[in-house]
Amino acid sequence: MWHIRISKRNLTNKQRDYIADLTDAEAHSTIEPYYFTLHEILESRHFCEIIIEGSRKALKNLCAMFRDNFNGTITYRVLP
């Protein structure tokens, strides 16, 4: 399982909704090598945290999609 954190000084409701919509759409439309299961999206004023289960390829693909569509800091780590 992976923990992805997208942070920015002030995330608007529109930006948080956009991140959630992108993640949900990607979870439903990816092909086999990039497939992942979305477990949770946690939102705050300064960050969004996303917990997924999938391969490293899936994680890299999702992070690349965020970098292409969103201006913020993206970090990730493996969950025990």
Tens digits of residue pLDDT in 26-69: 999 888 888 999 999 999 999 999 999 999 999 999 999 999 98
Instruction: Identify whether 33 is part of a domain.
Output: yes
- Placement of tokens 């002030």 in the chain: 10
pLDDT of residue 80: 84
Tell whether 6 is covered by a domain: no
CB atoms within 10 A of CB 58: 21
Count the domains in the chain: 1
**Of 23, 49, 17, the residue nearest 38 (C-alpha):** 23
* Helix 13-29 × helix 56-69 angle, to 10°: 140
Distance CA 51, CA 41 (A): 7
The boundaries of the domain holding residue 46 are 11-74
The continuous run of DSSP H or E covering 20 comes out as helix 13-29
**pLDDT value at position 16?**
92
Residues in a beta bridge with 80: none
